[in-house]
Structure 1
Amino acid sequence: MYNDLNYWIKHEAITLSFDPPESFNNSIDRIIASLDDSVELLGFGEALHGGEDILILRNRLFQRLVEKHGYSAIAIESSFPRAHVVNEYIAGRGPESYEKVQDTGFSHGFGSLEANRELVEWMREYNANPSHEIKLRFYGFDSPTEMMYADSPGQVLHFVLDYLASLDNISGRYHQEIIDPLLGDYAEWENPAAMMDPTRSVGMSPNAIALRMETEDLISELNERRPEMIAKSDEDHYMEAVQYATVARKLLNYHAISARDSENRLLRLLGVRDAMMAENLLYIVSREGSRGKVLAFAHNSHLQRGKAHMQLGPYALTWWPAGAHLHEIFGPRYSNIGSAVGISDANGICQPEAGTLEALLTGLQGTVRFIPTHRGTGLPASEIAALANRSGSMKNPTYFVLTSQSLTDFDWLAVLDSTTYSRGGPQLQE
C-alpha cells in the first residue's frame, strides 16, 4: 500500500543499465521472478514504432529470456504468413542471407530496421550452435495486412494447398483449380483505396463470396482427414496448415467487412485485426508447448489489457485489442510490459509536462527503469484520476502517450529517458 505515486515509484523501481551485462541480467531476472510461475506468454510493448532504444532493449531482453528463463520463440507485430521465410532463415534453411528475407519476411517495412536484422542474426547464430538442443523460432503474429491495405488471401491459401498436395496430389490439384480463378489479380485485393472507400473493395464480389465458401470446404477437409494427414506428415505441420487456412478465412472476412459501407466499418476492421493477432498467439503458444515460452513484441496498444483508443481523422475509435483477448484466453499465463519514453528529438517528443505519468516515471536516476504497476499495490485512486496526459508527437503518429489506464493495462512499465529513431526506418516528416 502506497500513499502517493512518487513514493511508489521510488521504492518499487528497478533501474537498469545495459553495461555491464551482469547488471542488466540481474535486473531482468528480478523482474521475471516477480511474474506468476504459470506465465507462458510475455508481451513487451513499444510506445511507438521507430524507437531504436526500445528495439535494442527488446533484443537484450529476449536474449536473457532464452538463456535463463526457458523462452524458445519470439513473435513480433508482423504478418503471420510472411514470417515463415524468416523462421526458415534462422533455422539454417532456405535463403542464404538476411537481404533475401528482409522484404518478403516482414510486413510494415520492419525488415529494414537494423535492430530486427540484429535480432534475426543472433537467433540464427544461436541455432547454429550444436550445444543448443532447443532451436529458437521466429513468428509474426499480425494479420496479413499493411497500414493502408489488406493482403490478397492467395499466399495463405497456397501454403495450405501446397501442404495438401504433398499428401494428396489429386485433392490438392482439385482445390487449386477452383481457388486460383477466384483469387484473380492480387492487386485488386490489395488496392489501398479500399481502406477508406468500401466501393473499391472486392471483398463482397461474387468471386470473393465463392472463395469464402471454398475456403470453408478446404478447412472442412483438413478437419475430416486429421488422423490421416498427421500420420502422413506430423502433428506440427498439420496444425500449421490448419492455422494458415484459419487465417485465410479471417482475412476473407476482413475483406468482406472492408467492402461494406457502415458507420462502424473502421472500428470492426481494427477489432478483427486484433482478434486475429490474439488467435495467432494462441496457436504460437500451443505450438511451442513443451519447447518453451513465447515473447510477443508489438505496439503498446495491441498488448494492453484495456480498450485501445485511436483518433483517425474525424473518427474517435475504441476497440478491444489483442491483449484484452489474451487476458481472457490465458488468464495469469499472460503477462505484459508496456514501455514509455521521456524525450525523443528524432521522433518529435518533447520534455513531458509536470504532473504527467511520464514526468513522474522519468524523475529517477538512470536511463531505463522498470516499475510494477498498481495492480495489487493500492495506489490512491484520487492521484491516479488526477494524472494529466502529456503532449504527443507531431512527427511520429505511432507515438501513444501513457494514461492513468496504463497502470491497469500492464503489469510492468519499462521507462526510457529517451530514444533515437530506428536505423533503417523510413524518414519521418518534419
Structure 2
Amino acid sequence: MTSGIKDTTHAFEAAALMGLFPGRPRLLALGEPTHEEDVLLDLRNELFRQLVEQEGYRTIALESDCMMGLVVDDYVTSGTGTLDEVMERGISHGWGASAGNRELVRWMRAHNDGRPASEQVRFAGADGPLEITHAASPRQALTALHGYLASWVEANLLPCTADTLGRLLGADERWTDPDVMMDPTRSVGRSAEARDLRLLADDLVALLDAQTPRLIAVSSRDDWDRARLYGRTAVGLLRYHFWMADTSPARMARLMGARGSMIAANLLAVAERGPALAHAHNRHLQRERSTMRMGDLPLEWWSSGAIVGAHLGEEYAFVATALGTIPHRGVGAPPPDTVEGLLYAFPEERYLVDARRLAAALGDAPPAPRVSPWFGYFPLDPAHLAENDGIVYVKDVVRS
C-alpha cells in the first residue's frame, strides 16, 4: 500500500501541478485547511510566482473583501499609496498584518514596475464585505455604482438620485450592528427601506448591463468591470442582510449559501480576465456540498467551488492543502489510518499528490476521517478525495 501511495506523489512545483490537469485551468483554486499560517502563504506565493513566470497566469484572488481588494490592485498596478497603507486598508479579516500577504503584495508591485498593463499581474478580493459578526453597509457599493452610471448615462435613465440612496441607507451603524448575528429581529434587512434598495440595486445593475457597449467605449473596460463588481456586491449584501433578518431554522444555511454565491460570482468574474489563481479555505473551494452543524441543527449549502465548477467544468481545478502537525495549535502527528497519517509516513516536508490516483490506490474502503483537537483546522474528508484534482501536503507547520 505504501509504495502504491508513493507513486502518486510529486515534487511541489507548478509544472508538476499542471501535469495533473487535462489543460491549463482558467481558474486554479488552491485551498488551505486553516488560516493565518505563513508557511502556507509562502507556499502559495511561490506557486503564484511560478504560474506567472511559466504558465502565463495574471491574477490572484484571495479570501478577502472584494471592495477592499481594489486598494491592493491600484497599488500593484500603478503604485497608488504605500505598502503599509495598502496592507492596512486593502486586505480584510486582519490578514493584512501577515508577513506572507505582505510579501505577496510587495512582489506583485515589483513585478509590475515598468511593465505594460497587458503584462501586469492583478489582485482581487474574492469574498464579500462580510465578517463573522456582521456584514457591511451596502452604501459603498451602491453609491459607487450609481456614481459611475451618473458619469456616463443620461440622468433620466437613472432609477433614482444619489440623495434618494442616502436617505434609504440611513446610518451605517444600522447595517453593521454586531448584535444582529445573534438577534435577527434587530436587522434592517427586511425594512421598507431595504426592500426599496433591493429594487433600486436591481435597476442599477440592469442599466449597467443594458448600457455595456457605450460604457466600455466612453470609460474603459476596467472601469466597467469595477462597476460590475459594485453591482454584484450591492445586490449580494442586500440579499445577505435580508437573510440576517430571517427568524426561521433556515437562516444560517441561507447566510452560508449567500456568502458562497458572492464568492463564486467574484471568482467567475476574475476568471473572465484569463488564467487566475484563487486562494481561500478548502471548504470554500471544494467541489462537494458543504455541511456543518450548529448545535443540533444540520446545515447544507453549495460551496463556492461547487458553483464555479458547475460553470467552468474542466477549466476549474481544485487543489486542497493537507497538514501533518501544527504543534503550536496542539495538533500532533496524525493517526496512521487516516489520509494525513499515510502521507505523514514519507520523509519529504512538502509535496504534491495526485488525488484521484491516491483515491484509486486506497481502494473502495476509504481511510478513517481524521479528527482535529483544534477547531481551526479542518482535515481532509477521505470520502471525497477523488473530487480534488490534487493535494498539497505539508508535513509540519512550524512557526519560526
Distance 1:201 1:131 in 2: 47
Report SS of the residue matched to 1:31: helix
Distance 2:5 2:313 in 1: 26
Kindly tell me: are residues 132 and 159 of structure 1, through their superposed partners in 2, closer, same or farther at Cα, counting changes over 3 Å? closer
More divergent stretch after superposition (271-280 vs 402-411):
402-411
Instruction: Quote the residue 2:386 is aligned against.
Output: 408
> CA RMSD for the aligned pairs?
2.1
Report SS of the residue matched to 1:378: helix
Query: What is the TM-score when the length of structure 1 is the normalising length?
Result: 0.87
Where do residues 217-256 of structure 1 align in structure 2 (5 Å cutoff)? 217-256=203-242
- Structure 1 position 121 matched with structure 2 position 98: no
Is the Cα contact below 8 Å between 1:74 and 1:297 reproduced in 2?
Answer: yes
Instruction: Structure 1: give runs of 5+ residues left out of the alignment.
Output: 17-26, 424-430
Instruction: Quote the residue 1:390 is aligned against.
Output: 370
Deviation at 1:168, TM superposition (A): 4.6
Deviation at 1:132, TM superposition (A): 8.5
Candidates 131, 136, 140, aligned match of 2:121:
136
Candidates 30, 43, 67, aligned match of 1:57:
43
Distance 1:68 1:219 in 2: 38
Report SS of the residue matched to 1:393: coil
Kindly tell me: are residues 31 and 60 of structure 1, through their superposed partners in 2, closer, same or farther at Cα, counting changes over 3 Å? same
- Structure 1 position 9 matched with structure 2 position 5: yes
Instruction: Quote the residue 2:188 is aligned against.
Output: 202
Where do residues 287-326 of structure 1 align in structure 2 (5 Å cutoff)? 288-289=273-274, 293-326=275-308
Distance 1:133 1:207 in 2: 43
Distance 2:93 2:76 in 1: 20
Distance 2:117 2:170 in 1: 45
For each residue in 1:95-136, what CA deviation from the matched residue of structure 2 results, as whole angstroms up to 9, or x when unmatched? 1x1221223212211111110000000000000043895101
- Structure 1 position 190 matched with structure 2 position 176: yes
More divergent stretch after superposition (143-152 vs 399-408):
399-408
Distance 2:160 2:301 in 1: 40
Instruction: Quote the residue 2:342 is aligned against.
Output: 360
Is the Cα contact below 8 Å between 1:36 and 1:333 reproduced in 2?
Answer: no
Kindly tell me: are residues 368 and 245 of structure 1, through their superposed partners in 2, closer, same or farther at Cα, counting changes over 3 Å? same
Report SS of the residue matched to 2:49: helix
Kindly tell me: are residues 111 and 173 of structure 1, through their superposed partners in 2, closer, same or farther at Cα, counting changes over 3 Å? farther
Instruction: Quote the residue 2:15 is aligned against.
Output: 29
Is the Cα contact below 8 Å between 1:15 and 1:366 reproduced in 2?
Answer: no
Instruction: Quote the residue 1:257 is aligned against.
Output: 243
Kindly tell me: are residues 150 and 9 of structure 1, through their superposed partners in 2, closer, same or farther at Cα, counting changes over 3 Å? same
Distance 1:312 1:125 in 2: 45
Where do residues 369-388 of structure 1 align in structure 2 (5 Å cutoff)? 369-374=351-356, 378-384=360-366, 387-388=367-368
Distance 1:120 1:315 in 2: 40
Is the Cα contact below 8 Å between 1:151 and 1:190 reproduced in 2?
Answer: yes
Is the Cα contact below 8 Å between 1:38 and 1:332 reproduced in 2?
Answer: no
Report SS of the residue matched to 1:91: helix
Distance 1:129 1:313 in 2: 54
Where do residues 142-221 of structure 1 align in structure 2 (5 Å cutoff)? 142-168=127-153, 170=155, 175-221=161-207
- Structure 1 position 341 matched with structure 2 position 323: yes
The one-letter amino acid of 1:382's match is D
- Structure 1 position 266 matched with structure 2 position 252: yes
Instruction: Quote the residue 2:63 is aligned against.
Output: 77
Deviation at 1:148, TM superposition (A): 1.6
Query: What is the TM-score when the length of structure 2 is the normalising length?
Result: 0.94
- Structure 1 position 105 matched with structure 2 position 101: no
Distance 1:67 1:294 in 2: 13
Kindly tell me: are residues 90 and 380 of structure 1, through their superposed partners in 2, closer, same or farther at Cα, counting changes over 3 Å? closer
Kindly tell me: are residues 255 and 192 of structure 1, through their superposed partners in 2, closer, same or farther at Cα, counting changes over 3 Å? same
Deviation at 1:375, TM superposition (A): 5.8
Distance 1:28 1:227 in 2: 38
Kindly tell me: are residues 420 and 155 of structure 1, through their superposed partners in 2, closer, same or farther at Cα, counting changes over 3 Å? farther
Deviation at 1:38, TM superposition (A): 4.3
Instruction: Structure 2: give runs of 5+ residues left out of the alignment.
Output: none
Deviation at 1:393, TM superposition (A): 3.3
The one-letter amino acid of 2:103's match is E
Distance 1:107 1:193 in 2: 20
Distance 2:7 2:358 in 1: 15
- Aligned pair count? 399
For each residue in 1:333-353, what CA deviation from the matched residue of structure 2 results, as whole angstroms up to 9, or x when unmatched? 001110011111122212111
Is the Cα contact below 8 Å between 2:359 and 2:386 reproduced in 1?
Answer: no
